[in-house]
Amino acid sequence: MKKKTKRWLGASLAGLFCLWLAFVAYVDWAMRQPPEVFGQIMARMPMPAYFLFPFETMWSDARKGTLSAGDLAPDFTVETLATKAPTQLSSLWVAKPVVLVFGSYT
């Protein structure tokens, strides 16, 4: 009887561990999606679920990006503040070097 109970308990714990790993892998995948997709996934997740995995560590790893110092910036399009016209980054650095500053001065 004791062996059967230990075997059942071990199998149950192994199954729960596999489910936890699958859950962590799913959240890791979700963190690497665009913010809109990640937000939709997290909006449906119950609050205590955040504490079942190393959220902050995974978030930092997923959002750190792959650029290194000296790499070219990826091309993107933004609206200008003055005219709200779309401007593509690659069109700016044709004529002169471009410096990107991210931050707030307010």
Residue with tokens 């910036």: 73
Asked if pLDDT for residue 103 goes beyond 80, the answer is: no
pLDDT value of position 18: 95
What does the pLDDT look like over 25-65, one tens digit per residue?
888 898 888 888 888 988 888 877 767 777 778 888 887 87
Q: How much is the average pLDDT of 9-25? A: 91
Report d(CA 1, CA 15) in Å as an integer.
21
* 86-88 and 77-79 beta bridge pairing: antiparallel
Asked if pLDDT for residue 102 goes beyond 80, the answer is: no
Q: Are 28 and 62 in contact (CB under 8 A)?
A: yes
**Domain layout of the chain by residue ranges:** 2-66
Q: What phi, psi does 65 have (nearest 5°)?
A: 85, 180
Report d(CA 38, CA 83) in Å as an integer.
31
pLDDT value of position 1: 62
